[in-house]
Amino acid sequence: MHMFRSILPAPLRRFTRDDTGYANVESIILLPALLWLFGVGWVYFDAFHQQSINQKANYVIGDMISRETDPLDETYIRNTRNLLSALIHSTSEDTDFRASVVQYDARHNDWDLVWSDAYGTRSRLKQADLTDYFDRLPPAIDNEQLILVETWDNYAPVFKVGLDPFEIATYSFTSPRYTSQVVWEGSASAGGGNNNSGNSNNNSGGGNSGGGSSGGSSGSGGGGGGGGWSFWDWLSGA
């Protein structure tokens, strides 16, 4: 460094030795950059934090559904979506929820849709949609059922620092815990006719809608029948 200075003209040598400065001027120069870096760090941290919260809420709901022994209905799905919104601190208008039950067919090495229901702007899962899930489902034995829980939530960054608003999507699968299957109200397993909640949109939380791979009605109204333990009844103080 000394050799480098020795070849410089005298004014430049004096400049390199001068360590005086003005804190106010330097602060004005550096403060915008520091604030921008702080904003970037805050926004990206908050985005990953919200993603983690949404995924944990997905696991909670999947575990809740896996413990149900009563048939589920559209009221249950609507209330579950409301629970999801509360867990992730989001408005119901920004949150979509879908629950589905699929069953493995070892003979054809395929998955069959048992029932599906959604609340929000998303449509119910269809049999044809399962081809997109094959790589995301675990190995299973014949007739084994899995509960698929999917959520979508709109996320808007607090600051505009290069990250645009985007959608946080989460996904999980869970095996039924207390029974071999989680049934839908009105299905053959629940004591009614054949059921698959089908392929139409469910934005109102009421009314019947048909379709799907098994046909039938998705059902609506109050909680399912039977004397089994219901997590949602316990949560709501019923």
Q: What is the pLDDT of residues 12-65, one digit of tens each?
A: 777 777 777 777 888 888 898 898 898 899 999 999 999 999 999 999 999 999
Q: What's the confidence (pLDDT) of residue 2?
A: 61
Tokens of 33: 């950059």
If you search the block for the tokens 């071999």, which residue do you land on?
180
What is the domain partition of the chain in residue ranges?
23-220
Q: Do 198 and 124 contact (CB within 8 A), yes or no?
A: yes
Q: Do 65 and 149 contact (CB within 8 A), yes or no?
A: yes
Q: Which residues contact 104 (CB under 8 A, 6 or more apart)?
A: 110, 111, 112, 140, 141, 142, 143, 144, 145, 146
Asked whether the predicted pLDDT for residue 117 surpasses 90, the reply is yes
* Residue 100 three-state SS: strand
Q: Please give the mean pLDDT across all residues of the chain.
A: 79
Asked whether the predicted pLDDT for residue 174 surpasses 80, the reply is yes
What's the pLDDT band for 203 if we cut at 50, 70, 90?
very low
Q: Which residues contact 177 (CB under 8 A, 6 or more apart)?
A: 66, 67
Q: Which residues contact 220 (CB under 8 A, 6 or more apart)?
A: 73, 74, 75, 205, 206, 207, 208
Q: How far is it, in rounded angstroms, from Cα 43 to Cα 49?
A: 10
Q: What's the confidence (pLDDT) of residue 1?
A: 54
